[in-house]
Structure 1
Amino acid sequence: MDHSLLLDALTAGDWTEMGSIPRASNDTRLLVVEHSGRAFRAVYKPISGERPLHDFPPHSLALREVAAYRLSSQLDLGVVPPTVLRDDLPDGRGSLQAYVEASDDEEAVTLSAVSAIPADHTPIFALRTEDGRDLVLSHSVAEGLRAVAFFDLLANNADRKAGHVITGSCLPSIAPTDIGVFGIDNGLTFHAEEKLRTVLWGFSRASFHAEEIDALEAVAAMDEPLRTALADCLSEAELAALSERAATLLTAEFFPEAPDDRTVIPWPPI
């Protein structure tokens, strides 16, 4: 789907702040942007509202959100909603991402009783709720979610929770049938050290497809267009680590298994 109109709106549209989005770890707000007679909802994350983290550089999460979209776009993965960096927003510089309107399609990641796991899902882990119910988190093995899992390998996503995967549309008023699987909340990405924490381990040991190998080769080569797209968001060390991750995955030829020497599931996982 061509998102050029949406990108133009995010980049230069007039905005109206609608309020804070609850339960977010950092300052996160809903805006409406208007451009060329159309209005779009967008998620604004000001740099000034980022909580300090011990393992990520300060004031860098919004930049990583933008880098995530640019990498997804450069590789034609289509798994990160259009995201731009703007200076003229309510609390200054921050990322502005198209809001994904959830569809009525079956969720790609589910929490259910064992007897209710969808037929095309693979179970990842079990848990017991405070009221004593035994549930299983499972996820689809369809291509849409696989693309998110593949992106997370490259981006070294340290926080792929179940709630960060949405099946829906960025353009519900224009193209309501343009449904995709999107990964949102991509601020904890691109660390130079291995940080992958995800609930999408069900693709482990799956051999890479030809188009995934092409993408890995492109990132490993880190040619000038890709480097230029990412260079104002990531450090040289992070760019080098991204290229090295791709090269390592190429050598392995398949989705890695979860390592047993560190935490591999984000907390909370939902």
Structure 2
Amino acid sequence: MLLDALEAGDWTEMGSIPRASNDTRLLVLDHGGQAIKAVYKPISGERPLIDFPSGTLALREVAAYRLSAALDLGVVPPTVLRDDLPAGRGSLQAYVEASDGDEVVTLSTVNAIPVDHTPIFALRTEDDRDLVLSHAVDEGLRAVAFFDLLANNADRKAGHVISGCCLPSTAVADIGVYGIDNGLTFHPEEKLRTVLWGFSRTSFRAEEIDALEEAAAMDEALRAQLSDCLSADELRALQDRANRLLAAEFFPEAPADRTVIPWPPI
């Protein structure tokens, strides 16, 4: 139902989402009498980048969802490409309603780091407070970190990880951990930048190895889902990453020869 609403629901534009790097708008979709919020990112509103081809960020948002769904990871909210939206072609992603529970990524003083979190890095604020960014080591966040390895996410900020749900009135049991803002993904060069380094040196599990093998094999069904969003070079790079991760057998450590934390990290 959610995908049907994204693909065919009648839309009403509610306005721009503040503090976004590119044109990002909130729409409300009417489908089957239910109102569903969605995030719209028109290609026409993308800011040019030096290292990513122009006009491709919305396509990468869609490819990220398709890969997550195809590998049964469930970490990217349902996302489609539509041509009939107010500023033209763009990605449309189900809006994730944040839950009222504990945050999976937190910024706190050293003494206030949650007991189930692992610290990632420390920083000093402009008013000279020393803070630590930490994240949970639970299953939901691990799935996001695993997806980012495979998709080569160059911008996994703390604010891009949300614990919540995509539909109103969802039961607590259905709340998941989602990674949003997946436009800076699938680059052929190694660009992983993330705040989720707490799983480093952890061996891959059987289901993660299965997902890597599926991405490495890149059968016709998966290729067909991704080929209208990604270039041939990007698809080959995705296969190569999957093979390298299979050979390594574990989450890698952060490399020391380049920037590995996005800026700003929050």
Q: Structure 1: how far apart are the matches of 2:135 and 2:172?
A: 24
Deviation (angstroms), 1:175: 4.1
Alignment coverage as a number of residue pairs: 266
Are 2:49 and 1:53 equivalent residues in the alignment? yes
Q: Give the C-alpha shift of residue 172 in structure 1.
A: 2.4
Q: 2:218 aligns with which of 222, 244, 262?
A: 222
1:242 to 238, 244, 247: 238
Match of 2:265 in 1: 269
Aligned to 2:126: 130
Q: Supply the distance in 2 between the matched residues of 1:235 and 1:252 (Cα, whole angstroms).
A: 26
2:42 and 2:88 in contact (8 A); partners too: yes
**Residue of structure 2 in register with 1:38 after alignment:** 34
**Does structure 1 retain, via aligned residues, the 8 Å contact 2:36–2:168?**
no
Question: What SS does structure 1 have at the residue aligned with 2:174?
Answer: coil
* Partner residue in 2 for 1:100: 96
1:158 Cα deviation (Å)?
Answer: 0.2
Please give the per-residue CA displacement for 1:123-155, whole angstroms capped at 9, x wherever unaligned: 000001111111000000001000000000000
Tell whether 2:172 aligns with 1:181.
Answer: no
- 3-state SS in 2 of match to 1:148: helix
What is the CA deviation profile of residues 63-83 of structure 1, one whole-angstrom value per residue up to 9, with x for unaligned ones? 000000000000110000000
Corresponding position: 1:12 with 2:8: yes
User: 1:178 Cα deviation (Å)?
Assistant: 1.4
* Residue among 45, 63, 67 paired with 1:67: 63
2:24–2:39 Cα contact (<8 Å) kept: yes
Q: 1:209 aligns with which of 189, 205, 210?
A: 205
SS in 2 for 1:84: strand
Give the alignment's TM-score, normalised by structure 2. 0.99
- CA drift of 1:173 comes to 2.6
Distance 1:32 1:140 in 2: 32
**1:112 match:** 108
SS in 2 for 1:168: strand
Helix, strand or coil: the match of 1:19?
Answer: strand
- What is the TM-score when the length of structure 1 is the normalising length? 0.97
Separation in 2 of the partners of 1:173 and 1:53?
A: 38
1:167 aligns with 2:167: no
SS at match of 1:243: helix
| Residues in 1 aligned to 2:226 and 2:153: alpha-carbon distance in whole angstroms | 16
Is 1:142 aligned with 2:138?
Answer: yes
Aligned to 1:197: 193
Superposition RMSD in Å: 0.7
- What residue ranges of structure 1 are gaps of 5+ in the alignment? none
Return structure 1 stretches of 4+ with deviation > 3 angstroms.
174-177
Residue 70 of structure 1 aligns to a residue whose secondary structure is helix
2:61–2:183 Cα contact (<8 Å) kept: yes
The structure-2 alpha-carbon separation of the partners of 1:245 and 1:197, relative to structure 1 and needing over 3 Å to count, comes to same
> Which secondary structure does the structure 2 equivalent of 1:24 belong to?
coil
Tell me the secondary structure at the aligned position of residue 93 of structure 2.
Answer: strand
The answer for the alignment partner of 1:254 in structure 2 is 250
Cα deviations across residues 45-103 of structure 1 (Å, max 9, x unaligned)? Answer: 00000000000000000000000000000011000000000000000000000000000
Distance in 1, Cα, partners of 2:255 & 2:94: 34
For 1:90, what is the secondary structure of its paired residue?
coil
Determine helix, strand or coil for the equivalent of 1:239. Answer: helix
